Amino acid sequence: MSGTILVTGGAGFIGSNFVLRQRSCKNRIVNLDLLTYAGNLLNLQELNGDPDHVFVQGDIGDRALVRKLLEDYQPVAVVNFAAESHVDRSIESPESFIQTNIVGTFHLLEEALAYWKRLPAERGDRFRFLHVSTDEVYGSLGPADPAFTENTPYRPNSPYSASKAGSDHLVRAYYHTFGLPTIITNCSNNYGPRQFPEKLTPLMLLNALEGKPLPVYGDGLNIRDWLYVDDHCEALSLVWERGNPGETYNIGGCCEKANIEIVETICALLDEMAPESGYAPHGSLITYVKDRPGHDRRYAVDCSRIERELGWRAKESFESGLGKTIRWYIDNREWVESVKSGSYRDWMVRQYTGR
């Protein structure tokens, strides 16, 4: 399938990687992003001057703006990445998560529904509203529990995951009540280039390169499934093109790792790739800090449905994906410095000082 796609949140981590992939496939992108702290136009600098990448700074809750973009550009799909997405920030300030993730998604759905109803039958049949969500909506698993499937009940445990669960329910309701051809994806922990450095992987590798402490929550044994961002974007492309409206697809890397294992692997790779940093062995920088409230113990994702129905599975091993990630951050220091603003430094002090 080809055409124009309205991408929301397309200057963020996963969104920008998706935009770059779609432009390589010659799809025109209308990119709507509010450019909050995690959005960065440097993520898209290779598209500077590209007439088929239309960037608009704005809010998904601005219905007049969304309506105008839909009418002016006539997209074949809306792909919704726009979200507040960091658990720690949701604990500190839940309101913005409710406003963006639930209220914002509601406004976007309303405008997409009105637009879809006006489309001729053939174009209406092709239209898709793809909502990108998280495995965190399913809650926490015990050590021996089976992985999350698309039928696992929602049991969110943080303001972030609760807000994403709410948005998922709205998207589902707009399919079942109004017929809007929506699809939901629930992904596991992404890592890769262009990720804002509050998340585990970039935080640890950038701190290590600067000789700063590597703060690991609790005992470090909380387990996540890890997914390289390019693999995720390939899966999203397949879901948009061939997924069935009204359905949900779990996307994961089939790669369960404890947080401390992630940090130790980053340190070992940096010892090899950046011995000149002056801080090797980088593992000596690991510091255990007080756990965060409500920290889910384990996530695991069953991807058998998307593999069976759409033929997708992750290509990158954890080691190969992490090596590519580290190399990107080492080679893109301008990007790193651009995101490490005063507000980000203030956030890091508030988050980890005294733990």
Annotated active-site positions, please?
135-136, 160
Residues 121-126: contacts with CB under 8 Å, at least 24 apart? 123/76, 126/1, 126/76
Tell me how many degrees the CA angle 35-40-46 measures, rounded to the nearest 5: 130
As a whole number of angstroms, the distance between CA 346 and CA 341 comes to 9
As a whole number of angstroms, the distance between CA 191 and CA 226 comes to 7
Strands 4-8 and 28-33: parallel
Do residues 130 and 80 make contact, with C-beta atoms less than 8 angstroms apart? yes
Q: How many CB atoms lie within 10 A of CB 287?
A: 13
Which of 99, 79, 106 lies closest to 17 in space, CA to CA?
A: 79
Which of 171, 173, 157, 151 lies closest to 83 in space, CA to CA?
A: 171
